[in-house]
C-alpha cells in the first residue's frame, strides 16, 4: 500500500491509523464504519455539493437539538435505524411481546395511579378501557409488574408538546400489577399524528415524498424483576397509516383489538396481554 491516501486504498489508509491500544470493540466498529462509508461514497459517486449539503444537514440536525428535542434520534427513527438496532438486540421467542420505538415523548416520573384509574384529563377524545394481563412464557401472572403508559390526546399532541394547554401528566400514568398480573386503565382511543416535522428531518421526509405520520398507538413500558423490559405500543389496526408508519414501528403482533362497547363509561375496549421474556443468564 502506498504511504499516502488514494481512492484505491482509502479504507486501508484510514483504518491503518487505529492505534494498538484502541478499545477492541471501538476498533472493530470504526473499521467497519469506514469501510461502508467509503463504499457508499464511491457507490453513489458523491459530488462536492452533495457532501456540503450533507454537512449542512447534519449541522442543522445538531443545532435544533435541545433538552426537549432530539433530532438525531428522529433521524435514526425515520431511517429505520432505531427499529433495526432494537430488532437485532431483542430477538425474542415467538409468543413474547415485541418491542418497538421508545419515541421522544416518554417522561420519567409519571404519577402512580390506582388500577382502573383514568389517565385522560382534558375532556377530549373517546374513552377507551385498556386491560389485560402481564404474564410469563407459561401464562403465569407476573405480580409487581410496573406498567408506564402514555399517549397523545384526541388532537394528536402529547402533554409535553402543549404544556400551556393540556393538564400536566395528561394521558400518562404508572400502574403496578397485583397477584393476578392484571392491569386496567381508562385512556382515550389514540389518534394518528405527525412526528415533529418542522426541522431538518421533516424537510428530508418531504424531499423524499414521505409523510410524517404515525398510526394511532398507546405507548407502554412494562418492567418486572427477572424479565427484559418491554418498550412497546399497541396499535389501532384500521388506522390509515398502519402500513406506512414514518418510523417503521408497527409489528403485526402489536396490532390490538379496539372493540366498540356500550357498557360503562367507555366507548371502546382494547384488550392486550404482555408476555414477558426472562433476562438471559
Shortest CB 106 distance to ligand BEZ, Å? 8
Q: In the structure grid, which three cell numbers stand for residue 125, read together? A: 377524545
Query: What is the contact mask toward Fe ion in residues 73 to 112, using x (rule: CB under 5 A)?
Result: ------------------------------x---------
Closer of 195 and 276 to Fe ion (Cβ) = 195
Q: Which residues pair with 204 in a beta bridge?
A: none
Shortest CB 237 distance to Fe ion, Å? 16
Shortest CB 21 distance to ligand BEZ, Å? 38
Binding site for ligand BEZ (CB under 6 A): 74, 77, 101, 103-105, 195, 214, 247
Q: In the structure grid, which three cell numbers stand for residue 46, read together? A: 458523491
74 binds, among ligand BEZ, Fe ion, none (CB under 5 to 8 A by kind): ligand BEZ
Shortest CB 119 distance to Fe ion, Å? 14
Q: CB–CB of 228/275 below 8 Å?
A: no
247 binds, among Fe ion, ligand BEZ, none (CB under 5 to 8 A by kind): ligand BEZ
Closer of 233 and 269 to ligand BEZ (Cβ) = 233
195 binds, among ligand BEZ, Fe ion, none (CB under 5 to 8 A by kind): ligand BEZ
Shortest CB 37 distance to Fe ion, Å? 31
For helices 200-207 and 71-78, give the axis angle rounded to 10 degrees: 20
Q: Going by DSSP bridges, is the β-strand pair 268-271/255-256 parallel, antiparallel, or unpaired?
A: unpaired
Closer of 41 and 160 to ligand BEZ (Cβ) = 160
Question: Buried b / exposed e across 115-147, counting CB within 10 Å, b at 16+?
Answer: eeebbbebeebbbbbbbbbbbbeeeeebeebbb
Phi then psi dihedrals of residue 221, to 5 deg: -120, 120
- The C-alpha cell 469506514 sits at 34
3-state secondary structure of 12: helix
Closer of 135 and 247 to ligand BEZ (Cβ) = 247
Closer of 110 and 142 to Fe ion (Cβ) = 110
Shortest CB 105 distance to ligand BEZ, Å? 4
127 binds, among Fe ion, ligand BEZ, none (CB under 5 to 8 A by kind): none
DSSP string, 56-74: HHHHHHHHT--SS--HHHH
Q: CB–CB of 111/167 below 8 Å?
A: no
Amino acid at each position: 500500500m502506498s504511504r499516502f491516501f488514494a481512492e484505491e486504498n482509502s479504507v486501508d489508509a484510514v483504518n491503518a491509523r487505529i492505534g494498538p491500544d484502541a478499545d477492541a470493540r471501538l476498533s472493530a466498529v470504526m473499521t467497519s464504519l469506514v469501510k461502508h462509508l467509503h463504499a457508499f461514497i464511491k457507490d453513489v459517486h458523491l459530488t462536492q455539493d452533495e457532501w456540503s449539503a450533507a454537512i449542512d444537514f447534519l449541522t442543522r440536525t445538531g443545532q435544533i437539538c435541545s433538552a426537549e428535542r432530539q433530532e438525531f434520534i428522529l433521524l435514526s427513527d425515520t431511517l429505520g435505524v432505531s427499529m433495526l438496532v432494537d430488532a437485532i438486540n431483542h430477538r425474542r421467542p415467538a409468543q413474547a411481546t415485541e418491542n418497538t420505538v421508545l419515541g421522544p415523548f416518554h417522561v420519567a416520573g409519571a404519577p402512580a395511579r390506582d388500577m382502573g384509574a383514568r389517565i385522560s384529563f382534558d375532556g377530549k377524545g373517546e374513552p377507551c378501557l385498556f386491560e389485560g394481563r402481564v404474564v410469563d412464557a407459561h401464562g403465569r401472572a407476573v405480580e409487581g409488574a410496573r406498567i408506564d403508559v402514555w399517549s397523545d390526546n384526541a388532537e394528536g399532541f402529547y402533554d409535553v408538546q402543549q404544556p400551556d394547554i393540556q393538564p400536566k401528566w395528561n394521558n400518562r400514568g404508572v400502574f403496578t400489577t397485583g397477584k393476578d398480573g392484571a392491569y386496567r386503565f381508562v385512556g382515550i382511543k389514540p389518534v394518528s399524528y405527525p412526528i415533529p416535522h418542522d426541522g431538518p428531518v421533516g424537510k428530508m421526509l418531504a424531499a423524499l415524498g414521505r409523510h410524517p405520520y404515525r398510526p394511532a398507538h398507546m405507548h407502554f413500558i412494562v418492567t418486572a424483576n427477572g424479565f427484559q423490559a418491554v418498550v412497546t405500543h399497541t396499535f389501532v389496526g384500521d388506522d390509515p397509516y398502519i402500513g406506512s408508519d414514518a418510523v417503521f414501528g408497527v409489528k403485526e403482533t402489536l396490532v390490538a383489538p379496539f372493540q366498540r362497547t356500550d357498557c360503562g363509561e367507555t366507548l371502546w375496549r382494547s384488550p392486550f396481554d404482555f408476555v414477558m421474556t426472562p433476562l438471559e443468564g
